[in-house]
Amino acid sequence: MPIRNLEPKALWNHFADLNAVPRPSKKEERVIQFMMDFGKNLGLEVIKDKIGNVVIKKKGALQLANAPTLIMQSHLDMVHQKNGDTTFDFDKQGIEMIVDGDWVKAKGTTLGADNGIGVAAIMALLSSTDIAHPPLEAMFTIDEETGMTGAKELDGSNFSGKILMNLDTEDDDELSIGCAGGIDTNTSYNYKTESIEKGSVGYEIKVKGLNGGHSGMDIDKGLANANKLMTRILYTLRSAVDIQLLSFDGGSLRNAIPREAVVKIATSRENSIQIMKEFQKIATLLSNEWITKEPKLELGIHECGYTEQAAVEAGETHKILNALYAVPNGVYRMSPDIEGLVETSTSLARVIIQDGKFITQSLQRSSVESTKDDVANTIRACFENMGCAVVQSGDYPGWQPNPNSKIVSLMADLYREMFKEEPQIKACHAGLECGILSKHLPGVDMVSFGPNIRGAHSPDEKVQISSVQKFWDYLLEALNRLN
């Protein structure tokens, strides 16, 4: 079935239109113009603030014309990630979507349901002529995925509403009332090099096929990190065979669990049999360890040529691998107050070793500022200990739950009434914009919800069709209760 024939048609058609527009973080010019044209073509008030956020305002409709003004918010940018064997130009091509049973997916790339479904839902309300809704202040922010720049630089004077609905969660039975803050840790080191031994043979080692996913929402699933697996492979091989490290390229995005890593090494021809033997040992070990969580894990090695002019000096290789092995990754601390909530985590998102430079990117998250500082200092110490320059930036606050929230109470009661089950009212371990927006919109009562999305930030991303219908029905009825 074509995407545009799915129900609710208005939402899916707007999602298809949106996904035809390339919209990577930091490059939102086209989608900003797309949203401004959309609002102006409807004859609505359109504002672009100084950072690039788009605000579209619409008067209330039908029986809700005089209801209190509602702020609705989603972000315009999406994570652009593809499988290694997928040919796709994110700067020029629209997302290629397919229907697979009850799910919409993309062909080898991220789908953009995060947060495109939320954007499309708001667009459907703005373009509607027969849906009752209160006066709307639609807030479309930019650069959520790589720094929440739009939320941080928001001009709060453009809004008068005292209730905000953020449509950016990924489980349709969940009402988010709080979230983690975060900080980026970026490191760099100029390593010494040495000549590649004459007569050496080059080998390429690959880790691929991992689940990947969102480094906040999925960090508690016990998934493998390609950078950490590759480090373990190199550490093991180097303990058994004389090798020279030529390059390391692992991970892709700061907020995605790394799915793939590629390394090049060199060793003497005499070590060829032993290197393959040792690799098979560690590959079998890792495959057995991860068979449950990562059944599609692929570990490979093959002989290859190399263009590198030099290798990482032996002593430097030792320091680098030690640092990568020692750096924490995954859940750092569970919340002692909210059962099942990850309080603090860290993810080693990116590793690059090439042309005399060793670079890493990692992201630390926590709903508690003091433990966010603690884990960030832990990562800093690991890398400073080997001489890296460490820069920590992009610090943003969490969203503290409000136990007396009227909109949360309304949404929870409505969920019980409509679906005859208890909603999951929880804080999430991801950087939602609400925490930052609350600084610009003091006193605004906030809640976040959305349909079922799986594999966000990875090429396995998908959104459930039946859940989108459930989300839409829930949203429309919630608007009626705001009168």
Residue 193 belongs to a domain with what CATH number?
3.30.70.360
Q: What does DSSP say about strands 244-250 and 311-312: parallel, antiparallel, or unpaired?
A: unpaired
Q: Extract the residue ranges of the chain whose pLDDT is less than 70.
A: 1
Q: What does DSSP say about strands 261-268 and 200-208: parallel, antiparallel, or unpaired?
A: antiparallel
Out of 396, 416, 439, pick the residue that ends a domain: 396
Out of 380, 396, 412, pick the residue that ends a domain: 396
Instruction: Let me know if 305 is exposed, middle or buried by CB neighbors in 10 A (0-12, 13-18, 19+).
Output: exposed
* 202 and 172 co-located in one domain: no
| Digit-coded pLDDT (tens) for 20-63 | 999 999 999 999 999 999 999 999 999 999 999 999 999 999 99
The span from the CA of 387 to the CA of 381, in Å, is 10
* 458 and 328 co-located in one domain: no
Residues with Cβ < 8 Å from 229, sequence gap 6 or more? 207, 210, 261, 286, 299
| Displacement of CA 364 from its chain's centroid (Å) | 13
* 160 and 219 co-located in one domain: no
* 217 and 252 co-located in one domain: yes
Q: Looking at residue 1, what is its pLDDT? A: 64
* 117 and 23 co-located in one domain: yes
Out of 396, 430, 465, pick the residue that ends a domain: 396
| Digit-coded pLDDT (tens) for 398-410 | 787 887 899 999 9
- Average pLDDT of the chain to the nearest whole number: 95
Give the closest residue to 75 by CA, choosing from 169, 161, 150.
Answer: 150
State which residues form the domain around 371.
183-396
**Is 355 tagged catalytic?**
no
Determine contact, residues 447/408, Cβ cutoff 8 Å. Answer: yes
* 68 and 203 co-located in one domain: no
* 229 and 175 co-located in one domain: no
Q: Looking at residue 402, what is its pLDDT? A: 81
201 forms beta bridges with 267
* 137 and 226 co-located in one domain: no
The span from the CA of 483 to the CA of 479, in Å, is 8
The span from the CA of 398 to the CA of 151, in Å, is 13
Q: Looking at residue 411, what is its pLDDT? A: 97
* 327 and 209 co-located in one domain: yes
* 9 and 123 co-located in one domain: yes
* 214 and 321 co-located in one domain: yes
Give the closest residue to 215 by CA, choosing from 329, 323, 114.
Answer: 329
What's the domain count of the chain? 2
**DSSP single-letter state for residue 82:** B
Give the closest residue to 365 by CA, choosing from 352, 351, 379.
Answer: 379
Q: Which of 77, 137, 145, 445 is catalytic?
A: 77
Q: Which of 49, 144, 145, 433 is catalytic?
A: 144
Q: Looking at residue 320, what is its pLDDT? A: 98
* 403 and 392 co-located in one domain: no
Looking up residue 77, the CATH number of its domain turns out to be 3.40.630.10
**Is 260 tagged catalytic?**
no
